[in-house]
Structure 1
Amino acid sequence: MFGIITKAALAIALAAAVFFAIEAPGIAGSDVATFVSVGADTSVPYGWVEFCARYRGECEDDDRAVQPIELTPAAMRKIQRINAWVNKNIVAVSDQDHWGVVDQWDYPTDGKGDCEDFALLKRRMLIEEGFPRQALLMTVVKESNGDGHAILTIKTNRGEFVLDNLSNEVKPWTKAPYRFVKRQSETNQNVWVSIGAPTSEPLYVSK
């Protein structure tokens, strides 16, 4: 069911892309990102654990090698279009208002969701477009006020970028206004690794 929904949504997104008039940024100079420095294995977000209990087939890991995205202009345009389409067509709502719980990771199949739901949908749509899952990494960050937030990090051969429900711009990770905390490992999506110097983890992610 979900595959049908997202494929239909993706077809609409790509067909409607001309209305967004999104131009791919240059893949040189200041637009080139660096690579995130990851550390030791760390705790797995409860939201991901619960998500995997409901979508077991999507959380099975395999022995596929790490594979970054080949960041051609065409690939960047497709990434931008999916990011902007999801941001435009999903209504932001907190998990408390949506599900009656503080934190629940899920696909926004009813057209509503919060930050991790946006990221999960973008990840799913990019996978369906042929992008390697190993390069599409769910990531937990902290905002300047300490609140938890979830974004999607994409690892390319030209550095790492973030897809954020709070911005239509696909930014190099160093330009995102967050303190990076942890993300999925490239080698195993069910293992999470710390990012940068140790920091306290947010209790849950929102927005």
Structure 2
Amino acid sequence: MNLLGKLLFITTLIATGVFAGSPALADPGRFMDMNMVTKAPIGHKQFCRDNAWACPKERYQPVVVKLNEARWNQLIAINAKVNRRVKPMTDDDLFGKIEHWSYPVNGYGDCEEYVLEKQRVLIEAGWPKSALLITVAKDVDNAGHAVLTVRTDHGDMILDNQIEAVLPWYSTPYRYIKRQSPSSSVRWTGISDTRVTTVSSVSQ
């Protein structure tokens, strides 16, 4: 691990309280409050129709990844690799539609393409699919945004194309709305995000 990776690792462990001496799961603030079943985004439904193999209707046991140094290093590396490899382009320019979810096309895509690619690469690297959840939020401009939530024993970590660092969910400037269920790739759960943030333009 390079110096930057070590600093990020130590900073995140401190932020998530791993050095506090208490079990990570004892602090609910590290994890999003999943409060109700909700509908999948229209874009995800369309993605599943186009890529049925990626959206099996099976149910599986949720897994929380033990975030050791090797896993953390891999998470940072894959997030950075996909962010560099995929170039930003709107759905309108890429597909001629306002909203369309897909894997990157010829190396281009918007936030959903980044998320789907990161999820795919991490699954291929051996990460459990139940810990890699597409998540929908409102960004600092109150616009829809998608990130990948990684469920770890140190809390919910966010992989994002707008912010290079991998951060705990509560350290990102977004208002979280819904995400995939950890027990099924086709089910979604609403998020009760009641934090007081500095992003005053973001509504719940």
Q: What TM-score does the superposition give when structure 1 sets the normalisation length?
A: 0.82
Q: Whole-Å Cα distance in 2 between the matches of residues 78 and 61 of structure 1?
A: 28
Aligned to 2:41: 45
CA deviation profile, 1:90-127 (whole Å, cap 9, x unmatched): 10000001110001110014100000100000000000
Q: Whole-Å Cα distance in 2 between the matches of residues 28 and 107 of structure 1?
A: 32
1:25: how far off? 1.1
* Deviation beyond 6 Å, 4+ runs, structure 1: none
1:22: how far off? 3.8
Q: Whole-Å Cα distance in 1 between the matches of residues 104 and 80 of structure 2?
A: 15
Q: Whole-Å Cα distance in 2 between the matches of residues 169 and 191 of structure 1?
A: 28
Give the unaligned 5+ runs of structure 1. Answer: 1-16, 199-207
Deviates more, 1:189-198 or 1:64-73: 189-198
Does 2:113 correspond to 1:117?
Answer: yes
Does 2:120 correspond to 1:135?
Answer: no
Tell me, yes or no, if the aligned pair for 1:25 and 1:31 is still in contact at 8 Å. Answer: no
- Residue 68 of structure 1 aligns to a residue in which SS? coil
Q: Whole-Å Cα distance in 1 between the matches of residues 59 and 36 of structure 2?
A: 20
Q: Percent identity?
A: 34
Q: Whole-Å Cα distance in 2 between the matches of residues 68 and 161 of structure 1?
A: 11
Aligned to 1:148: 144
Q: How many residues align?
A: 181
Tell me, yes or no, if the aligned pair for 1:142 and 1:179 is still in contact at 8 Å. Answer: yes
Aligned to 1:25: 9
Q: Whole-Å Cα distance in 1 between the matches of residues 163 and 15 of structure 2?
A: 18
Does 2:65 correspond to 1:69?
Answer: yes
- Residue 65 of structure 1 aligns to a residue in which SS? coil
1:31 to 1:197, Cα distance in 2 relative to 1, 3 A = closer
CA deviation profile, 1:146-167 (whole Å, cap 9, x unmatched): 1000000000011111000011
1:21: how far off? 5.9
1:83: how far off? 0.3
Give the unaligned 5+ runs of structure 2. Answer: 18-28, 195-204
1:31: how far off? 4.2
Counterparts of 1:188-203 in structure 2 under 5 Å?
A: 188-196=184-192
